Amino acid sequence: MPETEKNQIPEQPEFLTYSSFPSGKHEGKTHFIIVGAGIIGVCIAFYLTRHPKFDPKKHYITIIESKRVAGGASGKAGGLLALWAFPQQIVPLSFQLHQELSDEFNGEKEWGYRRLTTISVEATKIPRSVH
């Protein structure tokens, strides 16, 4: 691969920038700084932008990450989402949110989201009686 292609930054949306120094775009705005670009940090930023009082003219969000987006545990998860999982208090909400995000952002095509029917089987070995 030619050196010029290898070092080019991929195209990105206008609103998304990567920088090692402050841009100054936050000046005069309420500045939310989120530490960590794993699933929690990225979701915080995403849902802040969805809040009815969020106004990009008044608010600015910065995510600080030491390595890369989802570079730790968030990027290693197997993707299992099940109604029988734990903690049971948040599973229904999590299940619903995954479906809603998939519906909104074409998850089936974009990241392979799919719902499957699963079963759980347990077995116990019963010793044979000796006759």
Q: Domain limits of the chain? A: 1-76, 78-131
Segment 9-18 shows an average pLDDT of 62
Check residues 11 and 44 and name the one with the higher pLDDT: 44
**pLDDT (average), residues 19-39:** 91
Answer for the pair 49, 33: CB distance below 8 angstroms, yes or no. no
* Buried/exposed code over 104-129 (b: 16+ C-beta within 10 A; e: otherwise): eeebeeeeebeeeeeeeeeeeeeeee
Model pLDDT, residue 31? 96
pLDDT digits (tens, 9 = 90+) for 47-96: 999 999 999 999 999 999 988 888 888 888 777 777 888 888 888 898 89
Query: Quick one: pLDDT at residue 131?
Result: 64
pLDDT at 61: 95
Produce one character per residue of 36-70: b if its CB has 16 or more CB atoms within 10 Å, e if not: bbbeebbeeeeeeeeeeeeeeeebbbebebeeeeb
Q: pTM higher than 0.85 for the full model?
A: no
Report the pLDDT value the prediction gives residue 15, as an integer from 0 to 100: 62
